[in-house]
Amino acid sequence: QVQLQESGPGLVKPSQTLALTCTVSGGSITRAGHYWTWIRQHPGKGLEWIGYIYSSGTTYYNPSLESRLTMSVDTSKSQYSLKLSSVTAADTAVYYCALEDPYGLKYWGQGTLVTVSS
């Protein structure tokens, strides 16, 4: 059973960079066909797909965030990370890491609330 856990600051100042890490356990981060994904949910709103990273480092970013987004993976630590630069209040959201495999987005982290405020 794959488990994912987000970690990172809960408060980020405007114009700074939001950085989160997802730690994977119970499964291999290098398994073929596994796309390590980030999703966010603005308070009281729906779900927004941010992007994925594959264990090889291949990424796909949502074009709406692409210019500010960087994802990376550390297979030795079974972790992958997200960095979102130049944040504004509009980036305040619960950020989830999740695994997409051939059965869809089956496994999710519990989510972490990131507030952008001075």
CB of 34 to other proteins, least distance (A): 14
* Residue closer to other proteins (CB basis): 47 or 89: 47
Q: Which of 44, 52, 56, 37 is nearest to 96 (CA)?
A: 37
Q: What single DSSP character describes residue 111?
A: -
Match 């619960």 to its residue by tokens.
94
Which residues are CB-neighbours of 104 under 8 A, at least 6 positions away?
none
- CB-nearer residue toward other proteins: 19 or 105: 105
Interface with other proteins (CB under 8 A): 46-49, 51, 60, 62-64, 96, 100, 103-106, 108-111
What is the C-alpha R_g of the chain?
13
Closest CB to other proteins among residues 17, 110? 110
